[in-house]
Structure 1
Amino acid sequence: MKTIILKIQFLIILMVLPAAFLLAQQLLGLDKALEIAMQNSPDIRRSLLNLERSQESLNAQNAALKSQFSLSLNPVEYSRNRTFDDFSSTWYTSENFGTSGTFTVSQPVLLTDGTVSLVNRFGWQRNTNDFNNMEDKAFTNNLYLSLSQPLFTYNRLKLQLNELELDLENSNLNYAMQKLNLERMVTQFFYNVYMAQMSLSISKDELANTERSYEITKNKVDAGLAAKEELYQAELNYATAKSNVQNQRVNLDNYKDQFKQYIGMDIFEEISVMANVDANPVQVDLDKAIDYGLNSRMELRQREIEIETSMFDLVQTKSLNEFRGDMNLSIGIIGDDEKLNNIYNNPTNNPRVSLSFNVPLFDWGEKKSRIKAQEAVIKTRELGLEEEKTQIVIDIRQVYRSLQNLLTQIDIAKQNEKNAQLTYEINLERYANGDLTSMDLNLFQTQLSEKKMSYAQALIDYKIELLNLKVQTLFDFEQGIGIVPEELLKETKN
């Protein structure tokens, strides 16, 4: 009785363990894998950090264009000096003690690259000297408005702002492209795992069929209806099938690790993937695909940004050894008195004007050569833009041809699988009747496994190529809609 109970418990464990193992695994579909990758993928996180850097740099530059308020304080200033007076030929000692503070409001002018400042310096000081035994105490206040304006040169403020705006746009483009590339790579890794799962499943079916043929052969040999050599071959086929199952299990685990690493999952987490690989033919208009690609591909805009950035570099290059002027204007009043409330009873106007020029004379041709070098860079990038357009057209045409070819390959692979299945069943019956050797049956079993894998691979190749067409054209021909990344929509609205 105790033995029977132990057997029942063992059977229950065998039934429960597979179900518990499946529950412990996380079952992933392609959409769920993409969602995980968008949150955890190292490539996406790097793109987001780069996008954040560009955005914050532009925010900082825009903030720098607003009025800047500053306050500097000098709580204590003390000095004592021994000085010789040439007129009286006398040495005397002077002491100075004071405290002051300066409040400044400066406003950059984006239109002219100048700076307007309002400055107020307030302080108190006491001066004494033993030359005439005099002491002076007074409050002082210096209030003035100033303008600093560069002349005959390019607008550095505006250029820097434009560079940062282009950098942000380029970061948005990189992020959008990274998301599309992520979708393609996740899909590729996902189907690698799916194909490895299918290969393992097919190898298990092959093992089951081989085991059945082995049992048939063993029964024939035991009954004296077949030679022992048939059993030896059947045993070899059976061992090979077991080894193949183990090999496919190792491949599956390796593909799972690569997949989990790319999407940012814990590599120790058990997963299994599920997918619908049915491929419905999609009508693709080649001319429409090329038009969408040339009008929407973000790489073209990146090449244009490179050209614009090169033009900015040319402006800076032309400023080497340039004729340049600087104008500084200020106007204000200064007041001082022992009493604070009388500080402006007798104010003094203090206008100041300064104008300076930098006049280059001779630079041995440095500026001219640097300009030519930068112009060569611009022409190179213009050629790169034209080459990019040509490459886009070529890539789209290649994908289109591949899609047409894959539809034919799917039909052929489907028919091959059907024929291989029928052929195997017919020859299995022949084998059971003794009209076929185990070696020949193993060839038909291998052929069936290969055809199953070929059909599944053809379906997956078609799906991946459709996704590739969507990436190449930014148009989803399955849904019949254009794809414009959210980041570019925001840029357009701004």
Structure 2
Amino acid sequence: MNKIFTGVCLIACSFIAQSQQVYSLENIIGLAQQQSPQAKQAETRKENRFWQYRLFKADLNPSLVISGEVPGYTRSFGPVEQNDGSFQVQSIQRSNASVGLGLRQPIAFTGGLISVNSSLNRVENFRLDTRDFNSTVVNIQLNQPIFAFNQFKWDKKTEPIRYEESKRSYVEEMEFVSRTAVQRFFDYLDAQVNFQIAEFNLANNDTIYNIEKGRYNIGTASEDKLLQVELQLLRSQQDLAQAELDLQTSRLGLRTFIGLNEGENFNLLLPESILEFPVSEQIALQYAKENRADFIAFERRRIEADAQVAEARGQRFQMNLNASFGLNGAGNTYQESFQDTQDQQIANIGLSIPIVNWGRNEARMKTALANKQLTDYVIAQEEQNFEQEIITQVRQLDVLRQQIEISKKSDEVAQKRYEVAQNRYLIGKIDITNLNIALTEKDTAKRSYISALRSYWIAYYDLRRLTLYDFANQELLYTIED
């Protein structure tokens, strides 16, 4: 009978183990990077920035545009110029149609625009029963601002840097997803350990209560001690109820973050294996400066500050050169409009120079210069903070390794001390107060060990995020594409 019972228990335990999925820290991080909302948001931002950069590149390339106007009909009264130059109000009834083809090319070096155009216009006068065609065989136009702010020039400096920032920021965001996964992992692991502690304490206090109750019945224990143990038992029941609620809450938070099914049960493995790798402050700083988006952003922000100064300088006065040369013609038929074409030449320079503006230009210029100086100061401070953050993280990682060794040893000692105290209590060598002290120290040591592991793994993934380098495997997390 006992063999049958044992066999049933083993089968049941095997079934439970198969239905209970066990995840390591690496499993949780992998799931978070694949399907967490944070990871998907990072992917979307990366794609968005890619298309923004593609748009910038496309704006620098030539564009071929076809334009036109389908035949439109007009019927009204209006002034019509006569042969002697006078005007008479007459009935107007006509139709207009046009088609054009243009090739446009921005000039990034100068900020101008050059275009080559060709067009054909048709006007039909129903009142006079005439048709006229006007053609432009070719027309070359140049629009060139002089001494003006050249947005193309500065965008060619900043946009490639901004795009490079976005690619590095994506890797940093994914490392932050890993960090968040570590936090969620240990939130659930804390709740899991607390639940196990609460279950153990409840069972243990129930046993102690029964022992004290038996001693009280035979007169070897006082009622005060029995009530103390009973109160401890009630607190254990309350702690277990709270621990179960915390476990369910943290499980839901982790499941939602990594996208697990609602009905899937799982447990977590304690990541006790600590990565051993040397990290020097100088090497960490070197990788951070070479790889981090923030560091190349410093250069972009300096360029943008210079661009603001250039823009303020370019707004002092405005001058535009407009020039065009082409061949056009006219006729009563399509063929005639392309015969005997004549030169069409236009050239003008427009000026806008303020005479009295009450110091606006000077104020605008001084503001831009002050903003540039402020940017330089802010970046200098951020560079110091940047270096300090790296140095602090490296030093913290070394300290946390030592704390894990100490807390793990403390956990082992506290566990052994409790076992000794429990045995001494059972034979009446110590009272319940000393046993409770040993129990509290055991639980505190276990929680301190879990907390030390949490701090270590968060610090490790923070170092990866801050340097974009995996020191454990000695490989870059991001490489610049050619």
Q: What band does the TM-score fall into relative to the shorter chain?
A: 0.7 to 0.9
- Pairwise CA distance, 1:197: 0.9
Secondary structure of the residue aligned to 2:278 is coil
2:166–2:293 CA contact under 8 A, matched in 1: no
Specify which of 438, 441, 445 is matched with residue 432 of structure 2. Answer: 438
Which residue does 2:278 correspond to in 1?
Answer: 283
Give the letter aligned to residue 293 of structure 1: A
Which residue, 133, 142, 145 being the options, matches 1:151? Answer: 145
Question: Which is further off, 367-376 or 463-472?
Answer: 463-472
In the alignment, which of 56, 63, 67 is matched to residue 58 of structure 2? 63
User: Within 5 A, what are the aligned runs for 1:162-311?
Assistant: 162-263=157-258, 270-311=265-306
1:405: which partner in 2? Answer: 399
SS in 2 for 1:105: strand
* Matched residue type, 2:106: V
Provide the C-alpha distance between the structure 2 equivalents of 1:70 and 1:199, rounded to a whole number of angstroms. Answer: 72
Quickly say closer, same or farther: Cα 1:356–1:212, change in 2 above 3 A. Answer: same
**Distance in 1 of aligned mates of 2:71 and 2:152:** 35
Distance 2:451 2:87 in 1: 105
Q: Counterpart of 1:357 in 2: which secondary structure?
A: strand
3-state SS of 1:351 partner: strand
Alignment CA distance shift 1:371-1:177 (3 Å):
farther
Q: Do residues 420 (structure 1) and 417 (structure 2) align?
A: no
User: Given that residues 470 and 476 in structure 1 are in contact (C-alpha distance below 8 angstroms), is that contact kept between their aligned partners in structure 2?
Assistant: yes
Partner of 1:137: 131
Which amino acid in the other structure matches residue 64 of structure 2?
Q
Is 1:33 matched with 2:28? yes
Aligned AA (1:102): V
| More off after superposition, 328-337 vs 288-297 | 288-297
Which one of 320, 335, 338 corresponds to residue 325 of structure 1? 320
* Structure 2: unaligned runs, 5 residues or longer: none
Contact 1:184 1:464 in 2 (8 A): yes
Instruction: Summarize deviations over 1:326-385 as a string: whole Å, max 9, x none.
Output: 2221211213134x4444444333333333233333322212222221222222222222
User: What's the RMSD between the two structures over aligned residues?
Assistant: 3.4
Matched letter for residue 109 of structure 1: P
SS at match of 2:349: strand
1:450-486 Cα offsets, whole Å, 9 max, x none, are 222222322332333233333333333322x243425
* 1:313-336 C-alpha deviation (Å, 9 max, x unpaired): 222222213242222212112131
Moved more, 139-148 or 43-52: 43-52
TM (normalized to structure 1)? 0.83
* Aligned residue type for 1:371: M
The SS at the match of 2:99 is strand
- Quote the Cα distance in structure 2 between the aligned partners of 1:34 and 1:382: 39
Distance across 2 between alignment mates of 1:80 and 1:372: 56
Q: Counterparts of 1:73 and 1:267 in 2: how far apart (Å)?
A: 60
2:370 aligned with 1:376: yes
**Higher mean displacement: 166-175 or 265-274:** 265-274
* Separation in structure 2 between the aligned mates of residue 469 and residue 462 of structure 1, nearest angstrom: 11
TM-superposition CA deviations, 1:255-303 (whole Å, max 9, x none): 3344345445577865433232232544332332233334433222222
Q: Is the 8 A contact 2:271 2:453 kept in 1?
A: no
1:29-53 deviation digits (Å, cap 9, x = unpaired): 3233223323444444444333333
Distance (Å, rounded) in 2 between the aligned partners of 1:371 and 1:461: 50
Name the amino acid aligned to 1:455. Y
Aligned to 2:47: 52
Is 2:94 the partner of 1:101? no
* Contact map agreement 1:409 1:458 (CA 8 A) in 2: yes
CA contact (8 A) 2:276 2:472 kept: no
Q: 1:354 corresponds to which residue?
A: 348
Over the matched positions of the two proteins, sequence identity in percent amounts to 19
Aligned to 2:441: 447
Residue type at the aligned position of 1:192? D
- Structure 1: unaligned runs, 5 residues or longer: 1-7
- Taking structure 1 as reference, are residues 308 and 135 closer, same or farther at Cα in structure 2, changes over 3 Å only? same
